């Protein structure tokens, strides 16, 4: 069985460099991200002044913010329609740009979860977010949305949150980890783990972006790291960290960062009978 893996697209239609694949793996971030500069602006201001209470949409006004969110949604939908057109199963999770909603937001358009609407009616899509699905003797288990360590790992990050917010983050962390753990415990086949964000503190999750307030830090998922260490799935395929494209190992698990942009593809050839990896090929071979 051959799996085609595409990277974070952020509104850009992917160029497919490989042929004859049996399924597509897409670990999220289909919608475009013109809002990113406003997110970074707010984050940078909060790093300087932790007590500051300002939202990204307040910088441009809710009317323009809503228009930008609508365009982002339409861009993501076009990409998913394109992936659906290949006629093979597409295993996917939502990324942090895919409009799953922020429950605590005071901006209605941002608060609403649009993920199910984004994938609605596309018959080849297989949503594995907090789910387990089987294909030819392999179990796909997904964990989408996460965009950084679920619990702050650095002192300057801790300063950004109140004690109440940190307590809520710890509760969310326990809940999410428990849900994923139960999926792994019920699995009976070699597992392919699909977190949107790759695991914390590897060669694949260090931010190299001078415009980011987290530049130079590891910013992968703590939950993904702990799940991989405990259950040792055959593969863990994620993205989110745009600076890296390639693989590493955590114990027996091969971890793949699917990369960023329309030009990156990975093809994985699996041995169904033995439940093992035959080969992994990256396109392009060099990245950056």
Q: What is the pLDDT of residues 184-232, one digit of tens each?
A: 999 999 999 999 999 999 999 999 988 777 889 999 999 999 999 999 9
Report the distance separating Cα 85 and Cα 147, nearest Å: 28
Q: Which residues pair with 125 in a beta bridge?
A: 90
Mean pLDDT score of the chain, rounded to an integer? 94
Q: 3-state SS of 101-168?
A: CCCCCCCHHHHCCCHHHHHCCCCCEEECECCEEEECCEEEEEECCCCCCCCCCCHHHHCCCCHHHHHH
Report the distance separating Cα 9 and Cα 243, nearest Å: 13
Tell which CATH classification among 3.60.21.10, 3.40.50.80, 2.60.120.10, 3.30.70.1880 matches the domain 2-283.
3.60.21.10
The pTM of the full predicted model, rounded to 2 decimals, is 0.94
Quickly count: other Cβ atoms within 10 Å of residue 86's Cβ: 14
DSSP per residue, 19-84: ---SEEEE-S--S--TTHHHHHHHHHHHHH-TT----HHHHH-HHHHHHHHHHHHHHHHHHHHHHH
Cα torsion for 160, 163, 167, 173, to the nearest 10°?
Answer: 20
Q: What is the pLDDT of residues 93-133, one digit of tens each?
A: 999 999 999 988 999 999 999 999 999 999 999 999 999 99
Q: What is the pLDDT of residue 227?
A: 98
User: How far lies 240's CA from each of 18, 57, 133, 249, 256, in Å?
Assistant: 22, 23, 22, 18, 11
Range 144-156 average pLDDT: 93
Nearest in space to 194 (alpha carbons), one of 6, 2, 1: 6
Q: What is the pLDDT of residue 218?
A: 95
pLDDT value at 245 more than 80: yes
Confidence of residue 42 (pLDDT cuts 50, 70, 90): confident
């Amino acid at each position: 069985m051959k799996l085609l893996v595409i990277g974070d697209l952020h509104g850009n239609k992917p160029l497919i460099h490989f042929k004859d694949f049996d399924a597509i793996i897409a670990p999220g971030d289909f919608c475009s991200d013109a809002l990113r500069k406003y997110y970074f602006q707010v984050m940078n201001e909060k790093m300087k002044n932790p007590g500051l209470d300002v939202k990204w949409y307040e910088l441009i006004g809710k009317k323009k913010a809503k228009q930008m969110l609508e365009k982002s949604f339409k861009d993501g939908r076009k990409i998913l329609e394109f992936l659906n057109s290949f006629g093979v199963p597409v295993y996917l999770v939502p990324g942090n740009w895919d409009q799953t909603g922020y429950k605590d937001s005071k901006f209605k358009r941002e608060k609403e979860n649009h993920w199910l609407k984004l994938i609605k009616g596309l018959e080849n899509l297989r949503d594995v977010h907090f789910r387990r699905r089987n294909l030819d003797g392999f179990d796909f288990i997904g964990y989408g949305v996460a965009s950084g360590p679920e619990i702050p790992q650095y002192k300057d990050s801790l300063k950004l949150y109140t004690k109440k917010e940190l307590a809520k983050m710890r509760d969310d962390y326990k809940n999410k980890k428990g849900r994923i753990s139960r999926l792994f415990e019920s699995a009976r086949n070699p597992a392919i783990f699909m977190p949107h964000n790759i695991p914390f503190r590897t060669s694949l999750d260090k931010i190299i972006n001078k415009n980011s307030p987290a530049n130079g830090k590891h910013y992968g998922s703590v939950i993904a790291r702990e799940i991989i260490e405990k259950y040792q799935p055959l593969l863990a395929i994620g993205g989110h960290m745009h600076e890296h494209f390639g693989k590493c190992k955590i114990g027996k698990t091969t971890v793949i960062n699917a990369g960023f942009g329309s030009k990156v593809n990975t093809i994985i050839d699996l041995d169904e009978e033995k439940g093992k990896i035959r080969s992994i090929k990256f396109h392009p071979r060099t990245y950056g």
